[in-house]
Structure 1
Amino acid sequence: MMNTHAEATADGFVIVGEDICEKVISRADAFDAVEAVFAAMARGDAYNFPVVREAIGHADALYGFKGGFDRTGLSLGLKAGGYWPGNMARGLTNHQSTVFLFDPDTGRLSALVGGNYLTALRTAASSSVSIAHLAREDSKVLGMVGAGHQSTFQLRAAVEQRDFEKVVAWNPHPEMLPRLGAVAEELGLAFEAVSPEDLGAQADVIITITSAFEPLIMADWIRPGTHIACMGTDTKGKQEVDPALFSRATVFADEVAQSISIGEAQHAVGQGVIAESDITPVGAVINGTHGGRGSDEEITLFDGTGVGLQDLAVAAVAARLAREQGLVTPVTF
C-alpha cells in the first residue's frame, strides 16, 4: 500500500495560491507547525540545507533559497524568493516567495504554495512560540519595534500568548505607526507611540521586526525580566539590537548555526561578546531538555533568523487543508 504522501502526489501536484493560503491556515495552525518543527530540529529529526542568499544586482533585490527535510513531519522542499525594497511603491509586498514541496518517498513535486502570506504568518508564529516558552507569565506590556508589513502579523500572534494590556511601539518612520495602533484598538489594547528608550522602560516583551543594519535598541534600555524576540535580521550585515545585550541575556535561536552566520547573533559572536556555545536552540526548551527562563529577573533573547523548515511546515499544512477542503485541483506534467 502506498503511504499518504505517495497517494497525495499520485494524481499530480497542487497549486495553492496566496488567496487559498489566507483561507485555510490559521495562526494556531502555524504556531503548532512551527513549534513542532523547532522541536524536531532540536532532536536531530529535521535539518535545514545551507542557505543561498545573494544581492542580484538588479532592483536592489536580495534573492535566495531555503530548504530542508523533516523526518518527523515528512516535509521536504525549498522556498525560493527574496526582498524587493521597491515593491511597496508598486502596491506589492517587499517579500516575494514560493514554496516547493516534494514527496520524500518518490521525489515527485507535491505542491507549489504561495509564500508571501505564509512567510509573514510563520515569522509571527516563530516569535509567538518564543513568547509562549520564554516570556514571563505576568507580561502585560508588548513593545513593537517596526511597523512594516509583518508587524501586524507579529502583534496578532503575540497577544494570543500572554494577557497583554498595552502595546508600545516605535518605528524609524513614525507615519507608519497608525496601522499598528488600529490593530491594537481592534484587539482591545491600549496603544502608545514612544521613543525607543521609553519602549525598553515599559515593555515586558519586545519584538523587533525591521530591515535595519544598525542597532535600534541599546542594552541599557532593557529591564530585567524582559523577553526580546529579534525577528528582522536574516542576512549578513543586518542588525537590530546592541550586541552588548547578548552579554545580559540568556540567548536562544531557531537554529544556532544560522543565528551566528546571518542572524542577530552574528555581531555579538563576531565581537566576542558571547560564543556559539552560549546559544540554545529554542526547540530544547520545547522538548524539555532545557529549562528555559530561570527567573523573573532573567532577560531572555530569541534570535529568529527564519529557517526553511518553518516555511515547509506551514506550507505543508496549507497544502493539506486545501486538498481536504477541495479548493485545489491536482495538476500533472
Structure 2
Amino acid sequence: MMDQKVETQGIVIVGEEICQEVISRADAFSAVEAVFGAMAKGDAYNFPVVREAIGHADALYGFKGGFDKSGLTLGLKAGGYWPGNMEKGLTNHQSTVCLFDPDTGQLSALVGGNYLTALRTAASSSVSIAHLARKDAKVLGMVGAGHQSTFQLRAAAEQRDFEKVVAWNPHPDMLPRLQAVAEELGLAFEGVSQEELGAQADVIITITSAFEPLLMADWIKPGTHIACMGTDTKGKQEVDPVLFQRATVFADEIAQSISIGEAQHAVAQGLIAEGDIIPVGAVINGTHAGRASAEEITLFDGTGVGLQDLAVASVAARIARERGLVTSVTL
C-alpha cells in the first residue's frame, strides 16, 4: 500500500503595508468578538505566555500562541516592546505572527504583527464597550497618548454616540495626536487631570505602560465602564486595585488576567478572587447578562491574548490571498 503524499503548501507573507490595506476595524472587531466567544465555550484556548526582559535595550520579548478549534487557527505571535524605538522612527511594539496548518503542522503564513497588534487591542476594548458600556455614554476618557491610543479612540468612537473626549497623559505634549483624531471624528476634546477625567468620563480606556495606579477608585463615578488595556506583564499597573472591589470585573482570559493582567494586584491583595472575574465571552455568548444597572461600574481587563493576534492575522492573510497581494515562498 502506497503512503499518501501530502503536497507541500507555499507560505504566504503578508507585510505591514498589506495588513493596513486589507483589514478594517470592523474585520478586527468581528474576529476578536468571535474568538472571545469561542474561548468562553471552550472551543479555543491560549498557550502559556512567555514574556521576559532580555537584558538588552530595556526590551521585553516573548511569545503568545493558541489554537481555535472552531476557526481552525493555530499559531503564535513573537515580539515585544522596545522602549527606545520611537527615537529611531520605529514603533515600540514589534511583532510577527506565524500561522500553521492545524491538519499538517506546516507553516502557512507569516504576517506582520505591528499594525495588527494595535488594531486587535483596540478591537478588544471596543468589544467590551459594545457589550458593557451604558448605551447613553457621552464622554470618552483616554489615559495614555502613545502609539496605540489613536487606534483605541477610533475603535471606541464607533461603539457609542460620544460627544466629547477627555484625556490625560504623563507627557502632555503627546496629547495633540489624540486631539487631532477627536476633532477629525467631530468630537470635542479636553486635556484634563486624572481626577477630572474620572469625574467626566462615562467610558475610560487606559493604554499605558505604567507600573503604578494612574486612576484611583474614588475618582470613578457610578455607571462608568473602564477598559484596562495596558497591563500585560507581571508588575505593570494602571488603576487602583480597590476599584476591582467596586466594579463587576470581566476579562479576555481569567488565567492571564490574574497572573499578568490588571487584576494581578487586586488578587494578590485579597480584594477579589479568581472566581469574581467573568470572561467577556460569556456576555458575547449570552450566558451572562453583562451590565446589570445604569449605576454599576464595569471593568474589562484586556490582557491581550494570543488568539486575538491569530484571529486578525488569519483574516488579513485570507483577504490578502484572495486579492493576490501576498508573496509566496517555500522552505
Q: Shift of the alpha carbon at 1:281? A: 0.3
Q: Which runs of 5+ in 2 are unaligned?
A: 1-5
Which residue number corresponds to residue 213 of structure 2? 215
Q: Shift of the alpha carbon at 1:294? A: 0.1
Which residue number corresponds to residue 204 of structure 2? 206
Paired letter, 1:39: G
Partners of 1:236 and 1:263 within 8 A in 2: yes
How far apart, in 1, do the equivalents of 2:326 and 2:95 lie?
A: 19
Q: Shift of the alpha carbon at 1:35? A: 0.1
Partners of 1:11 and 1:330 within 8 A in 2: no
Q: 2:314 is matched with which residue: 313, 316, 324? A: 316
> % of aligned pairs identical?
87
Which residue number corresponds to residue 250 of structure 2? 252
Paired letter, 2:277: I
How far apart, in 2, do the equivalents of 1:267 and 1:319 lie?
A: 37
3-state DSSP of counterpart to 1:330: strand
Partners of 1:11 and 1:331 within 8 A in 2: no
Which residue number corresponds to residue 3 of structure 2? none
How far apart, in 1, do the equivalents of 2:108 and 2:279 lie?
A: 30
What TM-score do you get using the length of structure 1 for normalisation?
Answer: 0.97
Which residue number corresponds to residue 50 of structure 1? 48
Q: Shift of the alpha carbon at 1:328? A: 1.0
Q: Shift of the alpha carbon at 1:11? A: 3.7
How far apart, in 2, do the equivalents of 1:193 and 1:205 lie?
A: 16
Which residue number corresponds to residue 77 of structure 1? 75
How far apart, in 1, do the equivalents of 2:82 and 2:191 lie?
A: 28
How far apart, in 1, do the equivalents of 2:136 and 2:104 lie?
A: 48
Which residue number corresponds to residue 14 of structure 1? 12
Partners of 2:14 and 2:327 within 8 A in 1: no
How far apart, in 2, do the equivalents of 1:182 and 1:242 lie?
A: 30
3-state DSSP of counterpart to 2:167: strand
Q: Which runs of 5+ in 1 are unaligned?
A: 1-5
Task: Kindly report which structure 2 residues correspond to 1:37-186, keeping only aligned pairs within 5 A, or say none.
Answer: 37-186=35-184
Task: Kindly report which structure 2 residues correspond to 1:218-257, keeping only aligned pairs within 5 A, or say none.
Answer: 218-257=216-255
How far apart, in 1, do the equivalents of 2:214 and 2:65 lie?
A: 30
Partners of 2:109 and 2:317 within 8 A in 1: yes
Which residue number corresponds to residue 3 of structure 1? none
How far apart, in 2, do the equivalents of 1:11 and 1:56 lie?
A: 35
How far apart, in 2, do the equivalents of 1:116 and 1:245 lie?
A: 31
How far apart, in 1, do the equivalents of 2:254 and 2:97 lie?
A: 23
Paired letter, 1:241: V
Alignment size in residue pairs:
326
How far apart, in 2, do the equivalents of 1:183 and 1:59 lie?
A: 31
Q: Shift of the alpha carbon at 1:331? A: 1.2
Which residue number corresponds to residue 295 of structure 2? 297
Partners of 2:9 and 2:108 within 8 A in 1: no
Q: Shift of the alpha carbon at 1:332? A: 1.2
What TM-score do you get using the length of structure 2 for normalisation?
Answer: 0.98
Which residue number corresponds to residue 196 of structure 1? 194
Q: Shift of the alpha carbon at 1:330? A: 2.0
Q: Shift of the alpha carbon at 1:329? A: 3.1
Paired letter, 1:164: F
3-state DSSP of counterpart to 1:164: coil
Q: Shift of the alpha carbon at 1:205? A: 0.1
Partners of 1:135 and 1:205 within 8 A in 2: yes
3-state DSSP of counterpart to 1:14: strand
Partners of 1:124 and 1:153 within 8 A in 2: yes
How far apart, in 2, do the equivalents of 1:170 and 1:83 lie?
A: 22
Q: Deviations over 1:195-242 (max 9, x none)?
A: 000000000000000000000000000000000000000000000000
How far apart, in 2, do the equivalents of 1:273 and 1:148 lie?
A: 30
3-state DSSP of counterpart to 1:200: helix
